[in-house]
Amino acid sequence: MIECDSDADSDFDEAMSSNHLLDSIMPKHNSISTVIDGQDDELRVGIRSLRVLLLTPPMVQLNAPYAATPLLTGFLRANGVDARQSDWSLKAGLTLFSRRGVRLMAEEAERIPCAERTEGVGLFLSRVNRYADSVDDVVAFLQQNDSERARRILDGPWLPEGPRFRLVGELRARGCAPYMDDDSVRARFLASLYLDDLADVIREGVDPHFGFSKYAEQIALSADSFSPLCRELEKPFRLMDRLLEEWVGELAAQGMPDLIGMTIPFPGNVYAAFRIAQCIRRHAPGVHIAAGGGYVNTEWRTLSDPRVFDYLDYILYDDGELPLLRLVKFLEGKSARNELVRTRLLENGRVTYVNDPGAPELRHRDRPAPCFEGLDLQRYCPMIESPNPMHRLWSDRCWIKMTLAHGCYWHRCAFCDTSLDYIRRYDPAPAVRIVEWIEQVIAETGRRDFHFVDEAAPPALLRRLAEILIDRNIQINWWTNIRFERAFNTELASLLARAGCLAVTGGMECAEDRLLTLMNKGVTLKGMAQAARSLADAGILVHAYLMYGFPTETRREIVDALEYVRQLFAAGCLHSAYWHRFALTVHSPVYEQMNQFGIQPAALSEGGFSQNGIAYTERHGLKDRGLGESLHAAVYNYMHGVGLDEPAELWFECRMPPPRLKKNAVRSWIRMKE
């Protein structure tokens, strides 16, 4: 069987060289006069026009800009705000994976005694000059995909090969590498393995916090206290810290904006956001710093630790457009403190939440198209992380992220954060409006690859969108997340494919009917199989998100789920899948109805920092005993066409019961559809 692994946008000075050049050093806090009357705490005299910089901190992704700053920049500019954006996640990646970055890595790695070096670090240090001479060309090839550099990469002696390249021989031996027949794809795969080797060198020899799409993630995962992160920020600088300090210094030398807003979508960019804020405080203590994003919205709903505000001035919740706009007006002295929206700040040493009850909700249809000025899309670095066609799709091009609807049209799943605004409040935009956004983005960027990042794209809206795209002959490629419901029949799937749909992802969760009913998923095994088959038959790639360990799940149900997934792969209904363990969040129906699900959550912490994922006990809960590793191994092999004839229970190291699902269940359901 095949073994599976477990596991910057354009510089600000380039953005400033556009027609919106900053003329001079911007005003600091002490240039703003305040008059406090004890009632409104209103800021009466302020900066005439606030200058805003929106940042994506490391690490998020290298192949495309994260959605937040283009959306917010477009909105703020439409409302007259001088807003710029910069992607420091990409900036970090392109700095590390460069000639300079290789030299910096080598300086750090050489401090490790020879006996303590990993194989990858040792090979890297023995070939530093080859890496330094090749890295810029490899990155340029991934950015531009030109044939001349492809030929150099395919000439084995030129490209240094580390431990990751063993995967090539393993895939060849298993007959799982059809990509090898396409020189361009093979070159991109080899170039990606090359960068994977360098990423391993960083992690093993330079900075254990580093990952391609995350940095210091463990510090922020289930961090109920701010103290561990605070202690980490007091430690001597690592390489990434020194780079962040350097870039903040450059920003200060050019002239700081008045307000810097950072998006924190994931645990893997929390640390970098705080380190950036720390550096800003040192270089320009008068600059206002705000933060928002997905991590903030789910983890910091009850944040009360005042130490957080040694770094940040404002924390903004849920959709960031109106909170940011109101904050700008407040800092300009054009509105009062009590007109702030969904904003947490420190007042008189106490953490305070301010939300204007009369503030309107921004309708999704009223948003402008995202704006990409300041983000040089040519510099993003698409990679092929896996020869699997669906996994390749995620990262092999620069996807423009766009949302069809706010929230989820189903919003009933028991495991989901259904009490939070980003799920609960469903508000679709008309298909005509979405097409207008698409046309504006094409006109601005020339790009025609879109990722609709909905919680679950509504079938009716997808149908209308596809009809308009076909009617107007708008040629785009796109993919999105769906619910595997019967609305995705043969006719709709064919329509979506003709309108440019390349792939869909969706949750099959525990893949067992009793549990699907318990979690109120609203679908059945039969219906999901039929929907997946319709999509696959239309030439659309299909990926399933799977879950194990849901409350009350039995070992037999896990085997049944794996058997169902095996049959889907064998029948050509699935192209890839991923299994994760159920996690309990405080915003989910499972937590709110804990007695119904037979669980006892741990007491909520009073640490005053993050509060979302929570430990729990279950009287008859599953003992993992390697179940996760077995499920991952099975699916990884299925994705490469290996092991599809093996009994599902044989993948587990511990003794498991045979599945109850009939051997031909999926094929019989598919025939019924036909």
Same domain membership, residue 362 and residue 452? no
Q: Give the bridge partners for 259, in sequence order.
A: 52, 288
- Asked whether residue 88 falls in the same domain as residue 103, the answer is no
Percentages (nearest 5) of helix, strand, coil residues in the chain: 45, 15, 40
Within a domain: 292 = yes
Which of 193, 215, 237 is the endpoint of a domain?
A: 215
Distance of CA 253 to the CA centre of its chain: 32
Among residues 191, 215, 239, the one where a domain terminates is: 215
Phi, psi of 633 (to 5 degrees): -65, -45
Residue 431: CATH number of its domain: 3.20.20.70
Q: Which residue has the tokens 């992704």?
A: 61
In a domain, 607, yes or no: no
Are 166 and 59 members of one domain? no
Do 470 and 553 share a domain, yes or no?
yes
Q: Helices 119-126 and 128-144 sit at what angle, rounded to 10 degrees?
A: 100
Q: How many domains does the chain have?
A: 3
DSSP state string for 326-382: HHHHHHTTSS-GGG--SEEEEETTEEEEE--TTPPPPPGGGPPPP--TT--GGG---
Contact 488, 531 (CB under 8 A): yes
pTM: 0.90
Q: How far apart are CA 209 and CA 59, in angstroms?
A: 10
What is the per-residue pLDDT for 177?
Answer: 57
Rounded CA separation 357/341 (Å): 8
Q: Token pair for residue 339? A: 């007109």
Cβ atoms of residues 468 and 462 within 8 Å: no
pLDDT for res 392: 84
57 and 103 together in one domain: no
Q: Are residues 544 and 641 in the same domain?
A: yes
Q: What Cα–Cα distance (Å) separates residue 408 from each residue in 398, 411, 416, 422? A: 25, 5, 10, 8
Give the range of the structural domain holding residue 342, as residue numbers without chain letter.
Answer: 12-93+217-366
Rounded distance between C-alpha atoms, residue 564 and residue 470, angstroms: 35
234 shares a domain with 200 = no
Strand partners, 54: 85, 261
Give pLDDT, residue 558.
95
Identify the bridge partners of residue 617 per DSSP, sorted by sequence position.
600
Q: CA 199, 203, 204, 207 torsion: positive or negative?
A: positive
How far is it, in rounded angstroms, from Cα 454 to Cα 158? Answer: 43
**In this structure, are 337 and 285 located in the same domain?**
yes
Residue 59 falls inside a structural domain: yes
CATH of the domain at 57: 3.40.50.280
The helix/strand/coil state of 400 is: strand
Q: Is residue 436 part of a domain?
A: yes
- Measured CA to CA, the distance from residue 408 to residue 474 in angstroms comes to 27
Q: What is the mean pLDDT of each run of 10 residues along the chain (674 residues)?
A: 42 34 31 32 53 97 96 97 97 98 97 96 96 96 88 88 89 66 86 96 96 93 90 96 97 95 97 98 96 96 96 98 98 96 97 96 96 96 85 90 97 96 96 98 97 97 98 98 97 98 97 97 97 98 96 95 97 96 94 93 87 87 82 92 92 91 94 72
Q: Is residue 300 part of a domain?
A: yes
Residue 224 falls within a domain, yes or no?
Answer: yes
Q: Are residues 259 and 191 in the same domain?
A: no
Question: Which of 215, 242, 277 is the last residue before a domain boundary?
Answer: 215
- In eight-state DSSP terms, residue 640 is T
DSSP letters, 599-613, are: EEEPPPP-SBS---B
pLDDT given at position 20 = 32
Q: Are residues 528 and 639 in the same domain?
A: yes
Are 210 and 319 contained in the same domain? no
Q: Domain for residue 373, yes or no?
A: no
Are both 523 and 577 inside the same structural domain?
yes
Give the helix/strand (H/E) hosting 123: helix 119-126
185 located within any domain: yes
